A = this chain, B = another copy of it.
């Protein structure tokens, strides 16, 4: 039996090898769809069957990691010769009463389970039973295949702005466009890893990359003028985690956040961070666990080519990471927002004075926290320089559809790791800002309370801004 095995690049291999029961390394997405007008009672089953019967599956979704004596104990990708779509795509239903609560419980459970290497590392669940009639789609894909942002783009790329369009394939289908990517639109699922590797001039040795990153990173960390801060206080978020997950999600109108920003001279992103800051403050106060020093968030930011000094052949943007003080020591929402705005501005400025390699190294913290944390520790940096990661990924602005079903909500599920038990990822879509909170259920108790606190914080910020 001959199989076509291809080598796994070092970064992907690192995601596979650092994974364990407590730290599954997959990202997820929860999408909510509104059935089209005139949908019959079998609509969800038909949607499921249409996805299942997609003609051809893209190679990315057919390969699985493999290591054996025959491969010289090296980790390789191998096509699954017994690929079974029924293992990957599933039709599920919510128990009664079918509230969003039951959906979040199911998503938490699905996101907790690690995927076995013996099959391609992805799953999609078409979920019916929401009492408001909406249909949910939970998708899960291993970080060794795509990073979180690319996964979200991959999901979005199969949608259309045309409500009348039909015969649209699911995200895992082999599409003509994926055969030969246009120069301006490289293969999203491969870009970040390879770009990072080539930018750092790394060889194919797995050990090489983290070492090079850590060298750059420790330099930056020890340089007080850099965008990194070493003064993140210890919190309950920064301890070893278990394999139990809790996911909570909700959205707020972007317009409300925009008006707050306008009235206070801040950005929508500042308002998102202030919401998280206020919610974290209330949450930790309730648990009697708020540290005196303010929490520090690691916030990935996009930089245009000029700012980042990167002469990019593709002319694209680079991503850096700013350490933002969340001002959780301040009781007043308006002062918190203002402090966050300043901290973000400072961070971005120092970031633009960094070298391309430094920026890429920073960016890699977000890409590979699980790999970098132990390496940092070996370099004498005992505590990560931030308490949690807050990402804000812009999504499509217009209304999108999949075969006539309107996408009405989109929430990302991310990866908590040891020492970083909570991850907040936001994504905007069609005038709404969707918040996805993914945490270790044991380390971050009652995580869902953060949704109420986020809502209270929007109101408090509106009041403070005089709206």
As a 0/1 sequence over residues 320 to 334 of chain A, the CB contacts with chain B under 8 angstroms (1 = contact) are 000000000000000
Q: Given A90-B109, A94-B93, A95-B92, do A82 and B243 touch, yes or no (CB 8 Å)?
A: yes
- Contact at B20–A118, with CB atoms within 8 Å? yes
A84 → chain B closest CB, angstroms: 5
A222 proximity list for chain B (CB < 8 A): none
Among B20, B84, B97, B116, contact of A242 (Cβ-Cβ < 8 Å): B84
Determine whether A244 belongs to the interface, using a CB cutoff of 8 Å to chain B: yes
CA distance A441 to B87 in the complex (A): 12
Is A175 positioned at the interface, with any CB of B under 8 Å from its CB? no
Q: Which residues of B contact A42 (CB under 8 A)?
A: 96
Output the least CB separation between A157 and chain B (Å): 27
Q: Indicate which residue in B22, B95, B105 contacts A82 across the interface (CB closer than 8 Å).
A: B22
Closest to A84 in B: B244
Q: In the docked arrangement, what's the CA distance between A94 and B441, Å? A: 26
**Judging by beta carbons under 8 Å apart, are B91 and A95 in contact?**
yes
A87 surroundings in chain B (CB, below 8 A): 112-113, 243-244
**A92 vs B86: C-alpha distance in the bound complex, in angstroms?**
18
Interface residues on A, range: 35 or more
A397 interfacial contact with B, CB 8 Å: no
Which residue on B lies nearest to A119, using beta carbons?
B21
Inter-chain contact A96/B96, CB cutoff 8 Å = no
The CA of A96 and the CA of B40, in the complex, are separated in Å by: 12
Partner of A86, one of B94, B96, B97, B244: B244
Contact between A95 and B128, CB atoms less than 8 A apart: yes
What 9 A-B pairs are tightest by C-beta distance, nearest first? A21-B118, A93-B93, A93-B95, A82-B242, A84-B244, A91-B95, A95-B128, A93-B94, A93-B129
Given A93-B96, A96-B128, A114-B118, 11 extra CB contacts under 8 A: A21-B119, A41-B96, A42-B96, A45-B96, A82-B442, A86-B441, A91-B95, A92-B93, A93-B94, A95-B128, A129-B129
Could you list 22 examples of A-B contacts with CB < 8 Å? A20-B118, A21-B116, A21-B119, A22-B82, A41-B96, A41-B97, A44-B96, A45-B96, A48-B95, A82-B242, A84-B243, A84-B244, A86-B112, A90-B109, A91-B105, A92-B92, A92-B93, A92-B95, A93-B93, A93-B129, A96-B128, A116-B116
